[in-house]
Structure 1
Amino acid sequence: MSFYRPAWTRRRAATLGLVSLLAAAPTAVLPASAHPDHAAGTRLGDVRVVAHFDRAAGQVAESIALEPGGGVVIGMIPARQVVRVTPDGAVHALVTMPLPPDGGGTTPVIGIPVVTGVARSDSGPVYFLYNSGRGGLTGIWQVRPSGEPRLVVPLPADTFPNALVIDHKRSRFLVTDSTGGRIWQAPLRGGEASVWSADPALAPDGFLGANGLKIHDGAVWASNSDHGTIVRLSVAKDGSAGGAEVRATGLEGIDDFDFTGRGTEILAAINQAGKLVRVDANGAQGTLLDAEDGMQGTTAVAVRGDRVYVTNGANLAGNDPSLLLARLQR
């Protein structure tokens, strides 16, 4: 979840995002910044803006799910929307979630209802997370062709579900709970959720703990926003959680992350600082993109082949929330 901080709170920034379509501006090519640490590993080039969003409308881009053909599905936090961005930059709302009867004031930490993580099944259905502070609304939802959302897995009202992944090997969802410091699991067919891991490495420190989530090389990986860490959790043969190992530190304000395809090399979205950072297998770090490249409240990153998609929420600095596309240069 990106770093969204309402004006009425002064909590330490930690994760949420706000973005929407700022009018379909022409695709712009941004200069790649010449960071001195680029030579240490994977670099990015051909950075360009695919779409701008309308911050005033509450479309703060929070998460990314890739679709075949170059399309992207994005969760928009306070707009309570899931949108599709086509390869040519057109933005279409797939679903807008209703306000809870009380307006969502009981939503943990932030006090407003939000859409956070999104995921796409290999068979096509799109799923997303809705935080409302109310039972019967908070949970994993499916986008249906009719535009009417369907609740697939309810989650407790006091949770803050943030990132969503599909574990196809075990036909289950995995969800980070940022305020509870947990990872939940639930059957892909729907039904009851249970806590998969509540390891202390996932716990928050005053705001949001476990945030981004990925499955990679047989393990589950999570970022911890408050602690600035990336954690690897082993998976037992029966699918249960094994031990946790902190694999990277010093990433204060980390939001989402993804793997580049070079072993365990990671690209990390640092929301608070507005950066995209490479994290090597040994934990060494280097900034690949920053404000000079258009980073403003960077919320999510998704890699497919040599393509890297990055969302900016522009929620702590700047006013141009956007979706960017770059090329991996190995």
Structure 2
Amino acid sequence: MPRLPRPSRLPRLAGTTITAATALALTLGLLATAPAAGDEPAVSAPRVVAHFDFAKGQTPENIALEPDGSADLTFAGARQVANVTREGRTRILATLPAVANPSTPVVGAAVVLGIARAEDGTLYVTYATGTAKTGIWRIDPDGSAPRQIAKLPPKGFPNGLALDERRGVLYAADSVLGTVWRVPRAGGEPTLWATGPELEPGTAPPAAGIGANGLRVHHDAVWVSNTDAATLLRIPVHENGSAGAIRIRAEGLTGIDDFGFVQRHRDTVLAALLTGNQIALVRPDGTHKTVLTRQDGLSNPTAVAVRGRTAYITSAAYFTAQDPNLLLAKVHQRERG
């Protein structure tokens, strides 16, 4: 693995330097743009509603939305899951167990990454540790301690996570092994669901060893971002549950982490471009443009979730080391000229 850039200041927990998954695995770049379409959504009125403590490892990595409009976030470095209201009130829901000697690929420390929420309020997260604790963990709404429901390879890096309630399965993207795992919602043995060069990390500079990263289930398909390849991918789910052919839906998304779909606009995506401090609107034809920047409050954005006319965006400040936060913005129909 090539030597990777490091932020100038890193938080320390229990004497161990903490960084999060994508912090050590992205390279700087520029975003390709294209002219705006008259009927595409617009993003406006960004506002930071909650600020977090970088020194305590409160680096928000991923988002799951609650029915009341609050957001459940993973704090990667702190190994925590927090609930944040639209007004910015924050409370810790769970802390994943510490690992005595973590040997997590890419980062070296134990980190909580992807998150998915079931309709009954159960939360699922991916935990990367480099040990037997690596896998998918369940957090019940009754406040009981998190418990591991599936083990994934310690040499892997389980990252993005999504739940398909209809099929009763979870999908997890492994950034190092370049795979998508499928696990029964109740837990158990994981299935190697999708593999291929489109999911794999790069092997030569400036690639940094992070392949499949963000993951969403959308319109009978699993969508995955590949950070090193700067691509957005679509994998159809066949009726029997098997994976279809992997197709590239967008390219040139330098530094892409996670992403969210804009409702009422089929296959339109808002993607977090971590290293460029940008949010990109990705059209169904694969063209894209910048809609938010660091001037709007972004500080290495990691994930996007959209509900109705609101976009929720997390910034982990992995490189800036300043102001990890949760930002809300309006998503609305662009007026025709």
Q: TM-score range by the shorter chain?
A: 0.7 to 0.9
Aligned residues: 306
> What is residue 16 of structure 1 aligned with on the other side?
22
Partner of 2:134: 138
Structure 2 counterpart of 1:61: 60
Write the distance in 2 (CA, Å) between the matches of 1:47 and 1:38.
20
Stretches (4+) displaced over 2 A: 3-9, 13-18, 35-41, 144-147
- Say which SS state the counterpart of residue 22 (structure 2) adopts: coil
**1:41-96 deviations in Å (ceiling 9; x for gaps):** 32112211111100010110100000011110001111111111123211111111
Residue deviations 1:216-273 (CA, integer Å, cap 9, x gap): 1111110000000001111211010010110100011100011112011111100011
Q: What's the counterpart of residue 302 of structure 1?
A: 305
When residues 87 and 46 of structure 1 are mapped into structure 2, their CA distance, relative to the original with a 3 A threshold, is: same
Matched, 1:226 2:213: no
1:179 equivalenced with 2:176 (yes/no): yes
Distance 1:218 1:326 in 2: 27
Residues 1:54 and 1:151: Cα distance change in structure 2 (over 3 Å): same
For structure 1, which segment, 145-154 or 57-66, has the greater mean C-alpha deviation from structure 2 after superposition? 145-154
Distance 2:55 2:253 in 1: 29
Question: Is the 8 Å Cα contact of residues 156 and 176 (structure 2) preserved in structure 1?
Answer: yes
Letter in structure 1 aligned against 2:179: R
Paired amino acid for 1:55? F
Q: Is the 8 A contact 1:4 1:14 kept in 2?
A: no
Corresponding residue number in structure 1 for 2:95: 96
Aligned residue in 1 for 2:295? 292
2:20·2:77 contact (CA, 8 Å) conserved in 1? no
Using structure 2 for the length normalisation, give the TM-score. 0.86
1:151: which partner in 2?
Answer: 148
SS at match of 2:156: coil
After TM superposition, the structure 1 = structure 2 runs for residues 174-253 of structure 1, keeping only pairs within 5 Å, are 174-206=171-203, 207-253=209-255
CA contact (8 A) 1:94 1:147 kept: no
1:327: which partner in 2? 330
- Equivalent residue in structure 1 for 2:260, among 236, 258, 261: 258
What is the alpha-carbon distance in structure 1 between the residues aligned to residue 114 and residue 165 of structure 2?
Answer: 17
Of stretches 43-52 and 182-191 in structure 1, the one that deviates more from structure 2 is 43-52
**CA deviation after TM superposition for structure 1 residue 37, in Å:** 5.6
Q: Is the Cα contact below 8 Å between 1:17 and 1:76 reproduced in 2?
A: no
Q: Which runs of 5+ in 2 are unaligned?
A: 11-18, 25-32, 204-208
Partner letter of residue 198 of structure 1? T
| One-letter amino acid of the counterpart of residue 87, structure 1 | R
**Aligned residue in 1 for 2:16:** none
CA distance in 2, matches of 1:284, 1:112: 36
Q: 2:82 maps to what in 1? A: 83
- Structure 1, unaligned stretches of length 5 or more? 19-34
